[in-house]
Amino acid sequence: MSTPATHNARPAPPKRSGGAAALGWILTIVFNVVAPIITYNTLTKDHGWSEFSALMLSSAWPVLESVISLAWRRKLDEFAVVTLVFLVITAVVSLIGAHSARALLIKDSGVTGLFGLLCLGTLLAPRPLMFYFGRKFATDGTPESTAWWNGLWQYEGFRTTLTRMTLVWGLAYIAEAIVRIVLAYTLSTSTMVVLSPIMIYAVLAALGVWTTMYGKRSQAEGERRAAEAAAQAAAAS
In this structure, the answer to whether residues 146 and 215 fall within a common structural domain is: yes
Residue 230: the pLDDT is: 75
Same structural domain, 153 and 192: yes
H/E stretch holding 54 reads: helix 51-58
pLDDT of res. 7:
43
Q: Tell me, what's the pLDDT at 213?
A: 92
- Does 50 share its domain with 157? no
Q: Looking at the domain assignment, is residue 6 inside a domain?
A: no
- 116 and 222 share one domain: yes
Mean pLDDT in each 10-residue stretch from start to end of the chain (237 residues)?
42 57 68 80 84 72 72 62 66 64 72 89 94 81 82 91 96 94 84 79 88 88 77 77
Segments forming the whole domain that contains residue 21: 17-95
Of the candidates 3, 13, 4, 1, the one whose C-alpha atom is nearest the C-alpha of residue 148 is 13
Domain count, the chain: 2
Handedness of CA 126, 129, 133, 134 (dihedral sign): negative
DSSP structural state of residue 46 = I
Domain-located, residue 4: no
SS3 16: coil
CA pair distance 77, 81, nearest whole angstrom: 7
Same domain, 194 and 136: yes
pTM recorded for the entire structure: 0.68
105 and 218 in a common domain: yes
